Amino acid sequence: MNFSFTEQQLEFRDAVRQVLAKECTTDDVRAAYDAPVARTSRWATLAELGVTGLTVPEAHGGLGLGMVDLVPLIEEAGRVALPEPLATTTGIAAPFLADVADSGSVGTSGARAGVWLTGIAQGDLTAAVADVRWPDLPVAGADGADLLLVVADTPDGPELHALEGSMTATAPAQSLDPTRRLGTPQWEPSAATLLLAGDTARTAIDRTADRAAVVTGAELLGLADTMIAMTAGYAKDRQQFGKPIGTFQAVKHLVAGAQVLLEFARPVVYGAAWALDQDSPDASRAASVAKSYASEAALEAARVALQVHGAIGYTWECDLHLFLKRSWALAEAWGSAAEHRARLLDSLLAER
């Protein structure tokens, strides 16, 4: 039993935190609102550090690391509301492509997956991944992505397809948070796009949903942490009735409640990352607890942050909304808290 990160993992996290503090200020996030782009100079920097290729196998130019290594970095991405699709590309698409590259799957899929993985490691490729439950809805990060991983519903079950080049065109859709770069893929399934079918597709879809729940949860942890820190800072400065509003228990208890949720969401997300790396039979269950807990923590942090900031928090000028909007979007992405509670309960009942 050793439930902690290694020194090396923490050092890497700290290094990424330093880089992002400089390269991803709230001004930078605002710039991304005006011009949402998938690959930026910041993305290139992350690629140089090895971050984009963290989960890419070494054979394809990455670091070949796992979810436990990745989750603290995704948390850092959330902390600064990073506009680029690190969670999606490195946390969801790359591990999936690594499975494909390993599995000697349909036709030339394995070889193609290897090429894409190299692209991810080099910072030349961002990917978007459709949620199997909503195959026809807009996909986050799809607008401007180099690779779209999409799902086709067939009488024989779901198939996984990959779209690249001219096939990545999407019908645009707007999000409250423009950095989400939503787009609905415009495509027809063909032999050329097919990546996985049958049981391998089903397994891959399930694993992808679990990974997506955990990395999205990690991003929500970072967002919640920033919102709580901003709020504590504001409550220390803002004076009413001749003293900082943070002296009032009505304010203290709001912020403390959010902090308690965050404190307990962290080990839940970390434990789920470990379960995924172990291929534990409990991994899906752990992923559901992680996403549910992280979503609730971020939504409560958002609610409290807005309430304590008061009217200024409701403005475009105040940076808070950058974090609120991302939190609201991610809380629903890859399963809301309530959906994951339902999924968990089904799993608990299945073993009885």
Partner 1 sequence: MDRPMDLHYSDAQEALRSEARAWLADHAPAPRSLPSLDTAEGFEAHREWEAEMYADRWSVVSWPEEFGGRGVGILEWLVFEEEYWRAQAPLRVSQNGVFLLAPTLFEFGTPAQKARFLPPMASATEIWCQGWSEPDAGSDLAGIRSRARRSDTEGGWILSGQKTWASRGAFAEWCFGLFRSDPEAERHRGLTYFLVDMATPGVTVRPIPQIDGETGFAELFFEDVYVPDDLVLGEVGKGWSVAMATAGSERGLSLRSPARYSCAADRLVDLYARTREHDPARAARSADSVAQAWMDAEAYRLNTLWTATRVLGGGSVGPEASANKIHWSQTDLAIHRTALDLLGPEAELHGDGVDAPWLDGYLFALAGPIYAGTNEIQRNVVAERMLGLPRG
- Of residues 62, 119, 123, 246, which one binds partner 1 by CB under 8 A? 246
In the shown chain, the binding pattern of residues 164 to 193 toward partner 1, with x for contact by CB under 8 A and - for none, equals: ------------------------------
- Strands 127-129 and 147-154, by their bridges, are parallel
Contact (Cβ atoms closer than 8 angstroms) between residue 148 and residue 163: yes
CB nearer to partner 1: pick between 107 and 267: 267
- Of residues 267, 307, 310, 312, which one binds partner 1 by CB under 8 A? 267
64 is an interface residue for partner 1 by CB under 8 A: no
214 is an interface residue for partner 1 by CB under 8 A: no
Crossing angle, helix 320-332 and helix 283-309, to 10 degrees? 150
239 is an interface residue for partner 1 by CB under 8 A: no
344 is an interface residue for partner 1 by CB under 8 A: yes
3 is an interface residue for partner 1 by CB under 8 A: yes
Q: Under 8 Å CB-to-CB from 34, ≥6 apart: which residues?
A: 178
Span from 137-145, 155-163, 241-249, 319-327 in contact with partner 1 (CB under 8 A) = 241-249
Contact (Cβ atoms closer than 8 angstroms) between residue 97 and residue 118: no
Shortest Cβ distance from residue 330 to partner 1 (Å)?
18
Shortest Cβ distance from residue 235 to partner 1 (Å)?
6
Shortest Cβ distance from residue 236 to partner 1 (Å)?
6
| 189 closest CA partner among 209, 167, 208, 205 | 167
Q: Under 8 Å CB-to-CB from 7, ≥6 apart: which residues?
A: none
260 is an interface residue for partner 1 by CB under 8 A: yes
Provide φ and ψ at 290, rounded to 5°.
-65, -50
CB-based burial label for 173 (10 Å; 0-12, 13-18, 19+): middle
Span from 85-93, 111-119, 215-223, 340-348 in contact with partner 1 (CB under 8 A) = 340-348
In the shown chain, the binding pattern of residues 23 to 62 toward partner 1, with x for contact by CB under 8 A and - for none, equals: ----------------------------------------
243 is an interface residue for partner 1 by CB under 8 A: yes
In 124-269 the beta strands, taken as DSSP E runs, fall at 127-129, 147-154, 157-164, 170-172, 183-185, 194-196, 239-240, 243-244
Q: Under 8 Å CB-to-CB from 163, ≥6 apart: which residues?
A: 147, 148, 149, 150, 185, 187, 193
Contact residues for partner 1 (CB under 8 A)? 1-8, 68, 228, 232, 235-236, 243-244, 246-249, 251-253, 255-257, 259-260, 263-268, 270-271, 274-275, 289, 292-293, 338, 341-342, 344-345, 348-349, 352
